[in-house]
Amino acid sequence: MGEEARLIIRKLTTEDADAAAELDLKSFGKKDACSRNYFFQSAQDERKEFIVAVRNGKIIACAGAEIFSDTAEIESLAVDPDCRGQGIGKIILIKLIGAIKKRGASFMVLEVRPSNTAAIELYKGFGFQIVEREKNYYRDEDAWIMARDFG
């Protein structure tokens, strides 16, 4: 694999807001995508930890969480549909969990659509368990609340 194809994981910056929003739209569609402003604000928010995976100068994955003392809520994890099946989701989740733990959080929670079986399997592979069902979370579908104690 040449230098050009190398995957780089780094913090999200305000300059990444447009690309992150485009990735989210491509990954989740209009109804679930986060806005450019969401990513712009997240890049500046001390309570948040957002990272991106970059290949050939293009953001192909983004993941982030908000940290509340010892608890973190994973708010987003998107992988470009053209790059799925390459282990990128696993890589960026490993890096995000590591960054969250460095900031002192040991308990993590997230919401996921029950229809998003690939994401559910990814999270289960990291020891997350379904703990609750949130009715009408996405307006058109419930959400599974998944959690994991890393302490």
At the topology level, CATH places domain 3-149 in Aminopeptidase (3.40.630)
Question: Per-residue pLDDT averaged across 80-85, rounded?
Answer: 95
Q: What confidence tens digit (pLDDT) does each residue in 113-145 have?
A: 999 999 999 999 999 999 999 999 998 999 999
Q: Could you give the CA distance from residue 129 to residue 107 in angstroms, rounded to a whole number?
A: 12
Determine the average pLDDT of the residues in 76-83: 96
* Overall average pLDDT of the 54-70 stretch: 96
Active-site residue 134, yes or no? no
Strand order in the sheet with 71-79: 7-11, 48-55, 58-68, 71-79, 107-112, 143-149, 129-134
Active site (annotated) includes residue 138: no
Q: How far is CA 109 from CA 132, 134, 145, in A?
A: 11, 13, 7
Query: What is the structure's pLDDT at 144?
Result: 97
Label residue 151 by pLDDT band (50, 70, 90). confident
Domain boundaries along the sequence of the chain: 3-149
pLDDT given at position 5 = 79
> Among 22, 66, 75, 111, which one carries the catalytic annotation?
111
Q: Classify residue 50 by burial, with Cβ atoms within 10 Å: 0-12, 13-18, 19+.
A: buried
In this prediction the pTM is 0.92
